[in-house]
Amino acid sequence: MAALLTAYGLGVATAVPAPSRVEPAAHDDGLLEEATDRIVTSADPPVSRDELREAAISGMLRSLGDPWARYYPPQEYEDFTGWLNGDHKTVRPEPEIGDVVVDREEKLTVIRVAVFTRGVGSQVRAAAYGSPAVVLDLRGNPGGLLDEAVETASAFLDSGPVVTYERRGEVARVISVTSPGDSRVPVVVLVDKGTASAAEIVAGSLRDRDRAVIVGSTTFGKGTVQEPVRLSDGSAVELTVGRYLTPAGHNLEGVGIEPDITADSSDAERRGRAVLDGLTGS
């Protein structure tokens, strides 16, 4: 068959078959698998089908324009879900000191929450019980499980809404306090630009319900909810499926939470303690 020679770039040429009236036969498994077959049999250097399929999935997710959509290979997804559920901690390389660290003092309790993994909400509730005042430190907390955030906020509320969840194609759902908490203990929440997602749900809920003074710097501003969809080989795609609103109806996406008292990270805890001294008359 005659061929055309097309040149482009610098000294690069490729042989392109001349136009033909013969149409290629349709691939039994569709265009994507046809392209996979051709690339696997012809590409140099060689590439595997699994590599191509992962690249195709990642490309589809990028086309959504969603910064939170991502693909998890099977082992990575297993590690990630195990970490969230507290089964094992292989995702984070640094030594674990616990996702909730509690410092009890005579006049207050400082509760530092690193991330909202399984069981964190009940730990916060137990740590706050009987304390004369609470500093809830959410600085650098990137989020985690929505239900653990709701349980954490519930530890300081007696009833009512914690967050509104708007999922695509469904009626908005108001998620309320799981069980009555201590609605009288003075609370300061420490935040910074690393406070995101589920951590913002807690801070936003307590602020809107007039249950906490927010101290620190503006939070990250993530107001969307992601959900993983498991694929047949054990991998998963994580997609944005909805958004959340604070009890006062604020969408934090790209905005974040402005603190009641601005303080840099090195001074936030001191400022928070001063606020509690004023609230408790210490």
pLDDT at 246 over 50: yes
Q: Could you give the CA distance from residue 247 to residue 201 in angstroms, rounded to a whole number?
A: 9
| Catalytic residue chosen out of the listed positions 79, 205, 208, 217 | 208
| Catalytic residue chosen out of the listed positions 197, 205, 217, 235 | 197
Task: Tell me which amino acid residue 187 is.
Answer: V
Q: Would residue 184 count as lying in a domain?
A: yes
Q: Would residue 53 count as lying in a domain?
A: no
Q: Would residue 45 count as lying in a domain?
A: no
pLDDT, the chain, mean = 87
Confidence of residue 39 (pLDDT cuts 50, 70, 90): very high
Average pLDDT over residues 97-108: 88
Residue 197: name the closest of 84, 95, 76, 71 by CA.
84
pLDDT of residue 25: 53
CA 254 to chain centre: 14
Q: What is the CATH number of the domain that holds 271?
A: 3.90.226.10
Question: Taking the model in full, what pTM does it have?
Answer: 0.80
pLDDT of residue 24: 55
Tokens of 130: 């009987």
Q: Would residue 145 count as lying in a domain?
A: yes
Q: Would residue 222 count as lying in a domain?
A: yes
Known catalytic membership, residue 197: yes
Known catalytic membership, residue 176: no
| Cross-strand bridge partners of residue 3 | 17
Total domain count for the chain? Answer: 1
Is residue 189 within 8 A of residue 202, CB to CB? The reply is yes
CA 173 to chain centre: 20
Q: Would residue 156 count as lying in a domain?
A: yes
Q: Could you give the CA distance from residue 164 to residue 2 in angstroms, rounded to a whole number?
A: 66
Known catalytic membership, residue 208: yes
Average pLDDT over residues 55-74: 92
Q: Would residue 126 count as lying in a domain?
A: yes
Q: Phi and psi dihedrals of 237, rounded to 5?
A: -110, 135
Is residue 187 within 8 A of residue 213, CB to CB? The reply is yes
For 146, other C-beta atoms within 10 Å of its C-beta total 20
Residue 110: name the closest of 139, 85, 83 by CA.
139
| Catalytic residue chosen out of the listed positions 79, 131, 217, 222 | 222
CA torsion 266→279→159→105, rounded to 10°? 60
pLDDT at 6 over 90: no
pLDDT of residue 82: 86
Residue 157: name the closest of 114, 223, 210 by CA.
210
Q: Would residue 102 count as lying in a domain?
A: yes
pLDDT of residue 281: 79
Average pLDDT over residues 33-48: 90
Q: Could you give the CA distance from residue 138 to residue 206 in angstroms, rounded to a whole number?
A: 13
- Which of 7-21, 38-52, 93-107 has the lowest average pLDDT? 7-21
- Domain of 124 in residue numbering reads as 72-280
